[in-house]
């Protein structure tokens, strides 16, 4: 999608990881059909584009394929159009920024323990900038160490490289890097959407460093202190990522479904 269009749509679409200006620009297409703005996302098979969200106008519902429909949207649609196929794709996680910064209460006990373990164990350095060649080298090494490589994984990795091309070029894009003994071991990227919301775009860590993932998740949130909440996307087909995000106690979880629609009723 063209950059200006992506920036404009990101301000109008519902709050979600998938309305990041960068997600829209990298993976989506825009069409105006029947006087309605529609966002299409490239299917995981790479062969075609399907609607990212359900259209509002009835004329655009007939025979449509939709990637991310909520239960509330499905309840509305089932009275308007035939639903030929329905399949849960994933759940998206939403967090309160201050909750992740503070990590208070019994629910965050294990998260605090993991963070304390990392801080006591390692001689770490924190920065918001890093040498690009070293970032790419870290990402390549990280990729080689992964066992589960699905279509969503490949798309996510390409999206991460796309984000790296925009670091230090957009004030709304904030990144924290952590190194241990002068070796890069992780980074985390977020995007400010508006005064109340931001999007946790990407995080990559060396899993050999115990507690690093939770520690870095909190450090990124500190960059957006004062911003009320953030969206953290889902984890299509990756049980480990699901467990990690759920362990951080999101304040809201929204399941998304793929829909294949038929004729209008």
Whether residue 215 has pLDDT greater than 70: yes
Mean pLDDT value of segment 26-35: 94
Alpha-carbon distance values, 64 to 15, 29, 67, 81, 148 (Å): 22, 15, 10, 10, 31
Nearest-angstrom CA–CA distance, 207 and 43: 30
pLDDT of residue 225: 97
Specify whether the CB–CB gap between 61 and 54 falls below 8 A. Answer: yes
Kindly report, residue by residue over 46-72, the tens digit of the pLDDT.
678 899 999 999 999 999 999 999 999
Q: Where are the domains of the chain?
A: 3-91+255-264, 93-254
Nearest-angstrom CA–CA distance, 159 and 151: 12
Model confidence, pTM: 0.93
Residue ranges of E strands in 141-196? 173-180, 183-192
Six-digit token pair at 167?
Answer: 């670091």
Specify whether the CB–CB gap between 188 and 135 falls below 8 A. Answer: no
Specify whether the CB–CB gap between 180 and 132 falls below 8 A. Answer: no
93-254 is classed CATH 3.40.50.1220: no
Beta-carbon count within 10 A of 1 CB: 19
């Amino acid at each position: 999608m063209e950059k200006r269009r992506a920036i404009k749509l990101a301000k109008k679409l519902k709050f979600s990881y998938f309305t990041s200006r960068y997600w829209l620009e990298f993976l989506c297409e825009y069409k105006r059909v029947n006087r309605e703005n529609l966002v299409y996302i490239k299917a995981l098979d790479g062969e075609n584009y399907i609607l990212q969200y359900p259209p509002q106008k009835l004329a655009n519902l007939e025979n449509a394929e939709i990637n991310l429909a909520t239960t509330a949207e499905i309840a509305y649609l089932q009275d308007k159009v035939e639903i030929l196929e329905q399949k849960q794709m994933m759940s998206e996680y939403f967090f309160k920024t201050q909750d992740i910064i503070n990590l208070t209460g019994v629910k965050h006990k294990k998260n605090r323990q993991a963070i304390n373990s990392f801080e006591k164990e390692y001689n770490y350095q924190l920065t918001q900038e890093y040498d690009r060649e070293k970032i790419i080298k870290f990402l390549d090494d990280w990729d080689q160490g992964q066992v589960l490589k699905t279509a969503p994984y490949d798309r996510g990795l390409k999206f991460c490289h796309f984000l790296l091309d925009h670091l230090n070029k957009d004030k709304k894009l904030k990144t924290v890097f952590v190194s241990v003994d002068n070796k890069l071991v992780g980074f985390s990227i977020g995007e400010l959407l508006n005064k109340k919301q931001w999007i946790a775009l990407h995080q990559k860590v060396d899993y050999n460093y115990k507690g690093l993932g939770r520690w870095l998740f909190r450090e990124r949130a500190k960059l957006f202190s004062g911003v009320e909440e953030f969206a953290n996307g889902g984890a299509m087909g990756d049980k480990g990522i699901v467990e990690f995000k759920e362990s951080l106690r999101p304040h809201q979880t929204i399941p998304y479904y793929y829909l294949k629609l038929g004729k209008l009723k």
